[in-house]
Structure 1
């Protein structure tokens, strides 16, 4: 077996020594080419090269969710073809590692490498569904390139939080859970549309849902983690189904306290619920429109402002080692 290992040297939870140990362990079991990313988008380029190669059987990422997202977008640049494309394996090295943990992998890089090698020996893999987002035809975002995401996307509030965190990271701050919480509070108090939102959810065969302040799109559950605590925005979301959406139509102080508490105490059986909460399960195609440009994020990566995004849930898009 020939594998490509894509290493993010800026991964927050792995040292250079740990990376060397992991590379040695992987290389002892397969023919391994290890490449360290050098610029934003490099992992995507490497994934694209692997997709076009007849020699690469497996692409392994050593990094966080952003590295995985880039590799996936490279692998699927010509569309999903699970029988032809290299399989994907992930070794978590970021601060949160939602995709790896949603797959049931250990959050420790060394333990995850051991689990990966065991899975390869046993031939254990699954084919997962992914989300695809693109500018809506006929809108001012029509020309925006389509992009895949592995676990979640968001238009509005949560994407604004992600953007604030990225600004701090560019100034040298570490990506920590406390940083996210601080920026969530600042985003809330700076949100001009928190009492009446600007987002409309449109889907075939149903009435539109209007005036949403927050819209979270989930491809799996949990939505994210706070340390070791899983947070379930859409508990029924699954890699084996379409996409789920959680929308909130009000973010007053009282509503935020109520729904924030529900998120922190959420479980696989129950997520946020109530008068101003909208939950939609297993969607294949839908669109989020906004009356004003709002921030968009995918897999924790801030992608700028959008007014209309069309989402597609693509089942059985990629084979993953688990």
Structure 2
């Protein structure tokens, strides 16, 4: 038997509960893992609270990432005792995920636990930090340099935003953080933000083109915020979009793209090829200060995850939430 958060939708309604399950209940896969840590992400919040159509089949165990130890494997790639990490691939949505003490998944979805990180540290980074790194890699590929000017990070106090600030600052960029939580200004500056602006300056309908300010943008918010960020991006600048906290709509025009040559990069962290995942974690290993992980993250128990999911959806959670599934 093992503990898991289980989401059901039936005659009793939509609900998430902490439950005890048999190993035989696990879905198909060629690697069974003893999960040590998972995390609570925005997508997990949507799934647990039912505030978004994330879950595609029921019952479902949420948790879009996890780290743990291989218990059983029919894949030549992994053996019993191997330390492994998973981000994405639809776990917690269409396949049982990491908010449980055990998981069974496809070997292709796993990578070895990155060198230099414990399981807890890897999950302090989690999908949010890994996604932030993919955003930064897109800007690097575009050729954006610190000398080009300020980089805007929206949704700055969230997991992706927090990591984006820390990573970009470490690389020498001048980072401007946009947040709707003025009380987090000191926290954001401690991560490396040179300036903190109120999200209201970006979240309302704006002009097709605004004064050029940003050399680049990392956006986890979407909707009007993304549109306004694009409108104020400098000629030949780049915007990396990875989230939809404000909405998945894009109520804007093509003006920034055809009049200024702005490039919009869509960041999909779910189905990234294994080699690129490993490359992202190699950069994270070089850039992430372990003290920063402590500042960005805090730990909860599996039993607390349902309550925290509601707080996350209300915008009351800072940074990363690590879930120790064994307490």
Q: TM-score scaled to structure 2, two decimals?
A: 0.29
Higher helix share: 2
Give the structure-1-normalised TM-score.
0.30
Task: Select the structure that is richer in strand.
Answer: 1
